[in-house]
Chains A and B, each alone.
Chain A
């Protein structure tokens, strides 16, 4: 399931939205509407700690990254933009 490391930005955005749609049971079209300010953890009642853990573990598998304890903070989980920026930084740490 691991996808390429040279995923472009649009590809990463698509992958991440698809993953959130899978976790929340949304139509791809609904997830497509996520913007940088769209709230995640703490905003969506169904996105509890267990669901977030599942989401991060699936991100590791699909993006081929390792997410450490220290990586996980409020900022990264609070909004879609935060999560996307985190994934981008993990994939391209320059």
Chain B
């Protein structure tokens, strides 16, 4: 279930060893999961793994690598860039022999475009930043400090920013300001309304919804035309 893989060297820096959670039984359909980011990653963790369990029952392998700098990763998050995460996910797709990609929320920003697959409730960079900046201004105001979104955006762009406990580097921040999810060939959107029910990322306390996880997995199973296991 828990494995490691090595990211390739990049920009003159050595690669790193990263962990992944996988349901890997060497079956023909292998779905690379690009997880939600930051706070949403926590909120969607159980949901994501439940979808993977359902795919496993349907005879589909799934592979969920950590984004470098997140979870068990040893590399500093503040040094990560959008381009770096994109190339890491593309490398993971190759190293793990993925045949499809399931990108969740902001995961759609780093989904390898060479794989067919699905963007579930894709989140844009500007919306991701807007939510996190807003959380910071609200928390600051509670503490009697007045920060404006505009100032924080300028600061983030120039030198990076810590938002909700996540150190987002300047390059990552600037790239996110205009990052929109784009569907690659053979990729399609799955809107929350198709899955039904409230978006699990909205929950203040991480929750789970087996019904939603089951419906998302069923949509994927149907879409690959996987024969029943």
**Residues of A bordering B, CB below 8 Å:** 1, 19, 21-25, 41, 46-58, 69, 72-73, 77
Contact = CB atoms under 8 A, between A and B. Distances in A.
Interface stretch (B27-35, B57-65, B109-117, B130-138): B130-138
Interface stretch (B7-15, B73-81, B91-99, B197-205): B197-205
Nearest to A68: B149
Contact of A50 (B39, B142, B150): B39
Residues of B contacting A: mostly: helix
B198 A54 contact: no
Contacts of A69: 137, 148-150
Given A54-B131, A72-B137, A46 B164 contact: no
B204 A46 contact: yes
Nearest to B130: A57
B141 interface: yes
Contact of B202 (A48, A58, A73): A58
Interface string B146-165: 00111000000000000010
Contacts of A22: 198-199, 202-203
Given A41-B138, A57-B131, A58-B202, 5 more contacts: A21-B198, A50-B164, A51-B204, A54-B204, A57-B134
Interface in B36-90: 39
Contacts of B215: none
B183 to A, nearest CB: 19
B204 to A, nearest CB: 4
Contacts of A21: 198
A53 B135 contact: yes
Nearest to A70: B148
A23 B204 contact: yes
